[in-house]
Amino acid sequence: MKELRIIKTARGIEDINKAADMGFVPLVKKLKPLKKLFHTIGIFRNKKTNKIEEAESYVVYRQYGEITSYEDEDEWELVVPFHSHYPYKFDSHIAAYLIPHDIEKGEKVILEDLVEDYYGGSFWSHNIRVESLQAIWTGDDFSILYDSETDGTCTWVG
C-alpha cells in the first residue's frame, strides 16, 4: 500500500512566505473557530491565598474524585464572570497548507496540522479539536475526509 504524503501547514505571514521561497504554493485560509469547540469558564480567586483557578461551574469534579466548590463566599470570589472561551491558541488569524508542485489532482494526503476546526468528541466536558485528517486534492483545494461517526468520537481514556 502506498504511503500517503503529509502536507504541512504554515501559520502566519512570515512562515507562509518562507515556505513560498522554498517552492511551495501556499493555500491560504482564514481561521474560523468552530462554535462547538467553545466552552464556558469563570475565573475564581481564593481570598486566603490570592491564587486563581479556572472552572467550568461553581462545583468542579476533579479527575481523581476530589470535589471543589467555589460557592463558599468566605474562601472564593468570582473575579471573571462565566463566559465563552475558545481554548485553542494560534499566533495568527491565517494559515496555509503548503502545496508541493508535483501534487496530482485526486491524490489522497494527510493534512498534518488542520487549519479548519473539526469536532473530535468530548473528554471531561471539554470539546476536542481534531488535529489531523486525510484529504483529497481537487486541483484547487482539499476535500477533507471527515466522518463525524468516527472522527468526531473521542477515544481518550482518563
pLDDT tens readout for residues 1-54: 679 999 999 999 999 999 999 999 999 999 888 888 888 888 989 999 999 888
Q: Which three cell numbers stand for residue 108?
A: 489522497
- The more confidently predicted of residues 42 and 59 is 42
- The more confidently predicted of residues 1 and 97 is 97
The pLDDT assigned to 149 comes to: 79
pTM across the whole model: 0.73
Using the 3D structure, point to which of 85, 105, 121 is the last residue of a domain.
85
Q: Are residues 66 and 91 in the same domain?
A: no
Q: Are residues 113 and 48 in the same domain?
A: no
Q: Is residue 157 part of a domain?
A: no
> What is the count of structural domains for the chain?
2
Instruction: Give the pLDDT mean for 147-151.
Output: 79
Instruction: Give the pLDDT mean for 105-114.
Output: 96
Per DSSP, helices labelled H in the chain are 13-21
Residue 118, C-beta contacts closer than 8 angstroms, at least 6 positions apart:
34, 129, 130, 133, 144, 146, 151, 152
Instruction: Give the pLDDT mean for 104-131.
Output: 88
Contact 41, 85 (CB under 8 A): yes
Q: Are residues 90 and 135 in the same domain?
A: yes
User: Quick one: which of 6, 44, 11 has its CA closest to 142?
Assistant: 6
Q: Is residue 13 part of a domain?
A: yes
Q: Which domain holds residue 56?
A: 39-85
Q: How far is 114 from 51, CA to CA, in rounded Å?
A: 35
Q: Is residue 158 part of a domain?
A: no
Q: Are residues 48 and 10 in the same domain?
A: no
Q: How far is 140 from 138, CA to CA, in rounded Å?
A: 5
Q: Label residue 87 by pLDDT band (50, 70, 90).
A: confident
